Structure 1
Amino acid sequence: MRVEDLVYFCAPARLVMGAGCRAQLPALLRRLGYRRGLLVTDTFFSGATPWVDELVAGGRAQGVELLVYDGGMPDPTTTLCDAATAAVRERLAGVPVDHVIALGGGSNIDLAKALCLTLPDGSAVRAFLGKIDAGTPILPLVAMPTTAGTGSEATPGAILVDPDNATKVAVMDNRLRPAVALVDPEFTYTCPPRVTADAGIDALTHAIESYLTLDSAIFDRGGEADPGYSGRNALTMLFAHESIRLCGRYLLRSVQDGGDREARIGMSYASVYAALSYGSAGLNAVHGIAYAVAGQTHLSHGTTNAVMLPYVLDALGDVRREEMLAIARLLDIAETDPDIAAARVPGVVRELVAAVGLPTTLRDCGIEQRDVDALVRDALDVARLAKAFPVPDVSARYDAMVRNAWAGTLTAEAGASVQRRRAA
């Protein structure tokens, strides 16, 4: 218990987890009173897997009709959402749906969340950027993730790309958290190694960032009575702690051997636990800088998180020493000296990033040294994440983290090496 906590914890209304649990969904849909829904997915899942047909047939057997929209795309845009809204409403011909199901990675789930807002009256999704009116009708969502990483099945927002300026925008409301999050690890068994690595590092980033983020007692909730994010507390930290442990044990294994069922199941659980943590606690500098890196490089979300995670950890050693030591033990860092063990965390995380085949410096991502200043400015412009970074000098540390990430410099690791030499 932390007596200073101001707990505001939100999670999916129902969480169903376990290998093969997707078979339970049709009966659950009927039990919840749903009779006509929209299944949002993409052509891979509709054409190359049996899962869509199985779900449609299973729903029909339970008296639940499902309309399939398989136009999902990576990094969905506001334009795609509006086109999907028009296409689905035309096919429905005035007959409403009472729920939306998402099958796929974070992109499909984000698109489905947006459609939960736009389908009832056909509004453009841009109408819901910023605060969403309490009277706005929102369809209930069932989220079925097929990757172990994004955690969208437990969060209150959808991230879309605005093609007018190539930036990411968010629609956010706690009512967008899924009514049912169904996590079947079998969906992930055929994920290719690079997707597995991207998603897995994303899960680890979510867990670590939320474990180290600003405390709930001082988090700026902006006067919201129903905040989407509200800082870390003892409950979110419990979930993050378990997620870090599972990632340490299973992330590399799942990348190296996609047929390792134990590792696949372990990472599915790690992803959900990370989402239950960051879905209420929120995130900070890793994601804030990663968004700016993606703006310059157009690399995947997992990759841009991966390259920054070690250097953000490197910058937090003086303000999160106790937690860094806990992370060290979760990652099996056996140094007996606690200061050395904590200082080794950024280097060990960077070794993991390299082992799963992701870049470890901004130079490796194609960032030029002349672009570093702009990158820092763009990252600081993501103000909601910058102000959640638990340090007294946010701008200076952002500048140092980005420069270190470009050069590949880990100051904590260098200090730990000096301490080990002195001890010897």
Structure 2
Amino acid sequence: MRTEDLIHFCAPARLVMGCGTRAQLPALVQRLGWRCGVLVTDRFFTQNTPWVREYVEAARVRQIDVIVFNGGEPDPSTVLCDEATASVRQKAEGRVIDHVIALGGGSNIDLAKALCLTLPGGQPIKDFVGDIGGVQPLPLVAMPTTAGTGSEATPGAILIDPENATKIAVMDNALRPQIALVDPEFTYSCPPRVTADAGIDAFTHAIESFLTLDSALYDRQGHADPGYSGRSALTMLFARESMRLCARWMVPVYQDGSLKEGRAAMAYASLYAALSYGSAGLNAVHGLAYAIAAQTHKSHGSTNAVMLPYVLDEIAAVRPHEFVELADVLGLGAMTAAEASRAVPLRVREWVGQLGIATDLKAFGIAEAALETMVKDGLAVVRLAKAFPVADVPAAYRRIVLKAFAGRLSGDA
């Protein structure tokens, strides 16, 4: 317990977890009184798995109408959302849509969250950027098929705005799914690259939120219902369990996707990480990863991964007690704070390499001339920069980027 915590914790109204639990959904939807829903997914799942067909048939038996939208895409855009809104409303033919179901990775879940806002009235999604204006979105069921993003427990949707090629956020606690259904069997067929990127994303969410700004110091800007509000004993509890599972299973599941126990462990680790960062928030890793993505257009998991060891190296000095704990959670054993501050970033960089991801910015494809732009772009993500618990954030970001380019950690010989 930490008596200084100012906890504002939000989670899905219902968590349904376990292998095969997808079969429970039609009965649950019926019990909640929902009668007409939209299932948001993509063509891979309609063409290559039985999951969509099985749900539609089981729902029909219970007199639940399902409109399938399978036009989901990686990094969905505002244009896609508006086109999907018009298409689904046309298919509804006057029926009242009363819920949305998302099946897929973070991109499909983000699109579904946006549709929860746009489907009732047909407005463009840009109307809801910054503040959803007290609108009550449709209830959402999120069924993740990857073990990493944690979108099934978070308050926001990230979309690409094609007009300026930037990412925009639609955020409100009302967008957190009413039901998060985590069935590890959905992840069994994930290819190694997706498994690795998702796994390191989950681990980053856990460790970054474990070390982020305290809830008592977090700037909530006077918001009565903030989406993020800093770390607390409660968020750290979930982060610890997520990191423990990642330390045991993240690399082995990448190396052998048939490990069912490991698949289940990583599905749970992803959710636990989301329950941590979904209230605590994140900081420098994600802020700088967004800057890398703007230059390389590489996956979110890998852009997080290449920065993570160097951010840990920077933050160790202000989180000595946590690093002692991290050393134990990550399997390094009992260490002093000084030993842990060197060993933890080294271990994390080792894992990044084992996941087939470049371990420095130069190998990742970033030119030296672009480093200052990276620092500037990272600092421009103000919410994340303000949550980095160091005295001089701009100077810290610059040190992180330079060390990441050189591939140099304090623990290197």
Q: SS state of the match for residue 67, structure 2?
A: strand
Partner of 1:265: 264
Partners of 1:35 and 1:64 within 8 A in 2: yes
For residues 341 and 24 of structure 2, what CA distance do their matches in structure 1 show? Answer: 44
1:131 aligns with 2:131: yes
Partner of 2:35: 35
Partners of 1:100 and 1:142 within 8 A in 2: yes
Q: SS state of the match for residue 315, structure 1?
A: helix
The AA in structure 2 aligned to 1:116 is: C
After superposition, the C-alpha distances for 1:90-143 in whole angstroms (9 at most, x for unaligned) are: 111232210000000000000000000000101000010001211x13100000
For residues 355 and 98 of structure 2, what CA distance do their matches in structure 1 show? Answer: 41
For residues 337 and 373 of structure 1, what CA distance do their matches in structure 2 show? Answer: 35
Partners of 1:205 and 1:305 within 8 A in 2: yes
For residues 354 and 334 of structure 2, what CA distance do their matches in structure 1 show? Answer: 21
1:99 aligns with 2:99: yes
After superposition, the C-alpha distances for 1:185-216 in whole angstroms (9 at most, x for unaligned) are: 00000100000000000000000011000000
Alpha-carbon RMSD: 0.9
Q: Which aligned pairs between 1:269-284 and structure 2 lie closer than 5 A?
A: 269-284=268-283
The AA in structure 2 aligned to 1:382 is: V
Partners of 1:120 and 1:137 within 8 A in 2: no
Partners of 1:16 and 1:181 within 8 A in 2: yes
Partner of 2:397: 398
Which has the higher mean CA deviation after the structures are superposed, 301-310 or 330-339? 330-339
Unaligned runs of 5+ in 2: none
Q: SS state of the match for residue 66, structure 1?
A: strand
For residues 74 and 202 of structure 1, what CA distance do their matches in structure 2 show? Answer: 16
For residues 260 and 178 of structure 1, what CA distance do their matches in structure 2 show? Answer: 29
User: How many pairs align?
Assistant: 413
Partners of 1:40 and 1:68 within 8 A in 2: yes
Partner of 1:9: 9
Partner of 2:317: 318
For residues 110 and 198 of structure 2, what CA distance do their matches in structure 1 show? Answer: 15
For residues 336 and 314 of structure 1, what CA distance do their matches in structure 2 show? Answer: 16
Partner of 2:143: 144
Q: Which aligned pairs between 1:136-175 and structure 2 lie closer than 5 A?
A: 136-175=135-174
For residues 82 and 154 of structure 2, what CA distance do their matches in structure 1 show? Answer: 22
Q: Which aligned pairs between 1:20-419 and structure 2 lie closer than 5 A?
A: 20-134=20-134, 136-334=135-333, 336-411=335-410, 413-414=411-412
Q: SS state of the match for residue 344, structure 1?
A: helix
Unaligned runs of 5+ in 1: 418-424
**1:335 CA drift (Å):** 5.5
The AA in structure 2 aligned to 1:207 is: A
The AA in structure 1 aligned to 2:338 is: D
**1:358 CA drift (Å):** 1.0
Partner of 1:420: none
Partner of 1:421: none
Give the TM-score taking structure 2 as reference length: 0.99
Q: SS state of the match for residue 157, structure 2?
A: strand
Give the TM-score taking structure 1 as reference length: 0.96
Q: SS state of the match for residue 349, structure 2?
A: helix
Q: SS state of the match for residue 238, structure 1?
A: helix
Partners of 1:230 and 1:280 within 8 A in 2: yes
After superposition, the C-alpha distances for 1:37-89 in whole angstroms (9 at most, x for unaligned) are: 00000000000000000010111112211110000000001111011111111
The AA in structure 1 aligned to 2:15 is: L
Partners of 1:334 and 1:341 within 8 A in 2: no
Q: SS state of the match for residue 361, structure 2?
A: coil
After superposition, the C-alpha distances for 1:242-278 in whole angstroms (9 at most, x for unaligned) are: 0000000010111011000010000001000000000
